[in-house]
Structure 1
Amino acid sequence: MIAAINPTAFHIFGIGIQWYAIIIVSGIVLVSWLATKEAVRVGLKEDDVIDMMLWALPISIIGARLYYVIFEWQYYSQNPIEIFAIRNGGLAIYGGLIAGGLVLYFYTRHHFINTWTFLDVAAPSVLLAQAIGRWGNFMNHEAFGEITTKGFLMKLHLPNFIIENMYIDGAYRQPTFLYESSWNVLGFIIIILLRRKEHFFKQGEIALTYVLWYSFGRFFIEGMRTDSLMFFGGLRVSQILSAVLFIGAMILIAIRRRNKELPYYNRSYSIK
C-alpha cells in the first residue's frame, strides 16, 4: 500500500496551502476563460463575465458555507466560532450554486443583459468547474461512499494513486467523487457539442439542461455517499433538492417550448 496523498501541497510562511484550494482556483480560471470566449461569440462582453464573477465568487463561497452550517446547525449552535473556520471544510455545492445564481440574476437585471442568455453561457462552464472541484474532495479524503474492496476498485481500472487514496478510516471506499466528476465531464462534453447545433437549444434550454443533467446524476450519487447533509427523519438534503430541481427544469422547458417566438440560443452563433 502506498501512502495517502497529503491534502497540503506546500507551505508559505508557515501557512499550509491545500490542494483543494489550488484545484478550485485552477478550475475557476479555466472556466472563466471558457465562459468569456462563449460570451463574445453570442454578443456579450468579456467584462460582463469577469465583473459578474468578481461578485459571484465570494458570495458563492458564503452561500456554500451558510448552506452547510444551516443543515449542521446542531453542531455549529454549540460551536459558533467554527462557523468561520472554512479551512476545516464544510462547503456545500448547492449552496454556492444558489448564491451564485442570485448574483447572476441581479447582475444581469442591473446591466440590462438577458438573464437566460447569460445562464446559457455560464452553465456548461459551471458543470466543468464542478467536475474539477470534486478532485479537491479527493485530495481532502471527502465525498466518499460506502466500504468496498480493493478488488472492486481495481476492476474499475483506476490508477493506483486513486485506489490507495480511497483507503479511508481503515477501509477502501467507493470513489463517489470520481463518479460525480466523470458524470459532470460527460455532461459538459454533450452540452457543448449540442450547443453548436443550429436550431437545437432555445434560449434558456442550455442552462435548464445543465440543471437536468447535474441534478439527475447527483440524486443517485448522493445516495451512495456517507457524508450527506440530512433533514430530520433521515432524508438526504441534496437528493430532495435534486429531485425538485429536475422536476422544475422539466416543467420550465415544457412551458418555454410552448412559446413559438422564443429565439434559439445560437441563431447568430458562429465558430471562430
Structure 2
Amino acid sequence: MSIPSPDPSDTRFDVTAWLQGFGIDLPLTFVIHAYAVCILVGILIAAYLTNRRLVARGVESGTVIDFTLCALVLGIVGARAFHVLTHPGDYFYEGANLWRVLYVWEGGIAIFGALIGGSVGVWLGSKWTGVRFWTFADALAPGLLLAQAAGRMGNYFNQELFGTPTTLPWGLEVDPTNAAFPAGLPAGTLFHPTFLYEIVWNVAGALFIMLLGRAVRLQWGRGLAVYLMWYGLGRMVFESIRIDPSEIILGIRTNVWAAFLAVAVGLVLFLVQTRRHVGSEPGPYLPGRTPDEVAARRRAAGKDGGERGVDSVYTDSDFTDGDAARASTGSDSHALPATSGRGA
C-alpha cells in the first residue's frame, strides 16, 4: 500500500528528443518538467475558480486575467527569491553554478514569498481594473489553496520535502540514489508523504472557506484571513515533520515561525475587519470604476476628443477614487498582509 517513487521518465518530457523521432531538429533542448506542469495546473484552477467567484459578486468575466498578469509574475519572483535567500548554502558556494538560482523546475519556491510578491501584484491589479482589493483577495482564497494542492504534486515528482521515516502503510518510497535520501538509512525506508498531507489539508480548506462563505459574509478580507489561519495551522504541523535542511531560529524551523505569523496575521485581520466593517461591501468596484462608469467616460472623451484633442479616455478620478472610497467606507485597497518565510 505504500506510495511508489515516480519513474524518472514521468518527471520530464523531452520535446526535442520526441520531435527528432519525426525528423525535426530543434536548435535547443526543450524539456517540460512535471513540476512546472503541476504549478501551471494550479494556476489555471485558481484563475477559473476565482473568475467564477468574482462574476458571482458582479465583476466582469475575464477580469481575473488582468490580476493574474500582475500577481503571477511578481508571485513567482517573490517565491523564488525568498527560497534562494533563505537557502543561501544551496546556491552560493565555491564553484557553484549561479544560474541555478533561476532553475525553478528543480523545485524551491516559497509560498510565503509568493504571498508577498503576489499581494503587490493584486494591489496593482486593483488599481488597474478598479476592483476592490479585498473583493479579489477573498475571491482568490479557496482557489489559492487548490493551486497549492496541485503544486504539491510537483514535490512528489521531484521526490523532495518528504517527512520523517514511518512504518505507516501509506508511507512514501524514495529512491535511495536521491540526493535527499537521508544517509545511514536502509533502502526501502518509507517516509511521511507530507505532500499528500498538505494536498488533503488544502482541498479541505478550500471547501471549508466556500461553505463558510455561504453561511456568513466573508468580505472585507475575512476570506483571506481564514485562508491565512487555515494554511498556517496546517503548515506548522507538516513543516515540523519534514527532514529537508532548514534554517533554525530558537530551535524551530523558519517555516514554522512563518506559518505561526500567518495564523497571527490572519486572526488580527479577521478581528480588525469584522470590527471596522459591520455590513457588506458596497460593491465589487471602487467608486467611479464600474464598467458602465468607465464606458461613459470613454464615450464622453470620444465625443469631446474631436473638439479638444483628448488623448486619454481616463480621468484623474480613475486613479484617485480609491482614496475617496477609503475616506467614506474605510480602507479596502491596502496590500495583503505580508508574511515572511522560506522554503516551499
TM-score grouping bracket, smaller chain normalisation: 0.7 to 0.9
Q: Could you tell me whether the CA contact under 8 Å between 2:141 and 2:223 is conserved in 1?
A: yes
Q: 1:71 aligns with which of 68, 86, 90?
A: 86
Conservation of the 8 A alpha-carbon contact between 1:144 and 1:177: yes
Contact kept, 8 Å, 2:145 with 2:203, in 1: the verdict is yes
Aligned match of 1:270? none
Which runs of 5 or more residues in structure 2 are unaligned? Answer: 18-29, 182-186, 285-344
Query: What 5-or-longer segments of structure 1 have no aligned partner?
Result: 268-272
Structure 2 CA distance for partners of 1:39 and 1:81, relative to 1, 3 Å: same
Q: 1:166 to 1:46 in 2, by over 3 A?
A: farther
CA distance in 1, matches of 2:158, 2:208: 29
Instruction: Tell me, in whole angstroms, the C-alpha distance in 1 between the residues paired with 2:58 and 2:174.
Output: 45
- Counterpart position of 2:38: 23
Is residue 104 of structure 2 the alignment partner of residue 86 of structure 1? yes
The partner residue of 2:190 within 172, 184, 189 is 172
Q: Deviation of residue 232 (structure 1)?
A: 5.2
Provide closer, same or farther for how the CA distance between residues 265 and 240 of structure 1 changes in structure 2, counting only shifts above 3 A.
Answer: farther
Moved more, 169-178 or 81-90: 81-90
Is the 8 Å Cα contact of residues 38 and 121 (structure 1) preserved in structure 2?
Answer: yes
Aligned match for 1:5, one of 4, 7, 28: 7
Report what 2:247 is aligned to.
Answer: 230
| Cα distance change, pair 182–259 in 1 and its aligned pair in 2 (3 A) | same
Distance 1:144 1:163, change over 3 A: closer
What does 1:97-136 correspond to in 2, within 5 Å? 97-136=115-154
**1:178 shift after superposition:** 0.9
1:251 to 264, 268, 276: 268
Deviations 1:128-155 (A, max 9, x none): 1101111111111112001122xx1x2x
The alignment partner of 2:59 has SS state of coil
TM-score by length of 2: 0.68
Give me the whole-angstrom Cα distance separating, in 1, the residues matched to 2:103 and 2:5.
27
Alignment match, 1:37: 52
Structure 1 outlier segments of 4+, above 3 Å:
1-4, 162-168, 231-235, 264-267
- Mapped to 1, the partners of 2:6 and 2:139 lie a distance apart of 38
Counterpart contact for 2:71–2:121, Cα < 8 Å: yes
**SS of match in other structure, 1:10:** strand
Q: For residues 283 and 204 of structure 2, what CA distance do their matches in structure 1 show? A: 21
User: Deviations for 1:140-196, whole angstroms, at most 9, x for unmatched residues?
Assistant: 1112001122xx1x2xxx4xxx74458763321111111111110111111111222
Alpha-carbon distance, 1:93 to partner: 1.8
Q: How many residues align?
A: 257
Task: Please report the RMSD computed on the Cα atoms of aligned residues, expressed in angstroms.
Answer: 2.5
1:221 maps to 2:235: no
State yes or no: 1:183 paired with 2:201: yes
Residues 166 and 174 in structure 1, CA contact (< 8 A), matched pair in contact too: no
Q: Which residue of the partner structure matches residue 147 of structure 1?
A: 165
Cα pair distance change 1:126/1:56, threshold 3 Å: same
More displaced 10-residue stretch of structure 1: 118-127 or 222-231 = 222-231
| TM superposition shift of 1:257 | 1.7
Contact 2:194 2:242 in 1 (8 A): yes
Cα offset for 1:230?
1.3
Amino acid at match of 1:60: G
**What is the CA deviation profile of residues 23-71 of structure 1, one whole-angstrom value per residue up to 9, with x for unaligned ones?**
2212221221111111111011233211111222222211111001111
Which residue of structure 2 lines up, in the alignment, with residue 52 of structure 1? 67
**What is the distance in 2 between the residues matched to 1:51 and 1:103?**
10
User: Per the alignment, in what secondary structure is the counterpart of residue 17 of structure 1?
Assistant: strand
Q: Residue 108 of structure 1: CA displacement?
A: 0.8
Which whole-Å CA distance do the structure 2 matches of 1:226 and 1:136 have between them? 17
Q: Is the 8 A contact 2:42 2:151 kept in 1?
A: yes
Distance in structure 2 (CA, Å) of the matches to 1:182 and 1:131: 8
Instruction: Summarize the Cα distance change of 1:166–1:48 in structure 2 as closer, same or farther, 3 Å threshold.
Output: farther
Partners of 2:126 and 2:133 within 8 A in 1: yes
Q: 2 CA distance for matches of 1:266 and 1:26? A: 31
Greater C-alpha radius of gyration: 2
Query: Counterpart of 2:136 in structure 1: which amino acid?
Result: F
**Greater Cα shift, 134-143 or 258-267:** 258-267
How far apart in 2 are the matches of 1:3 and 1:243? Answer: 32
1:211 pairs with 195, 211, 228, which one?
228
| Larger RCO: 1 or 2 (CA < 8 Å, sep 6+) | 2
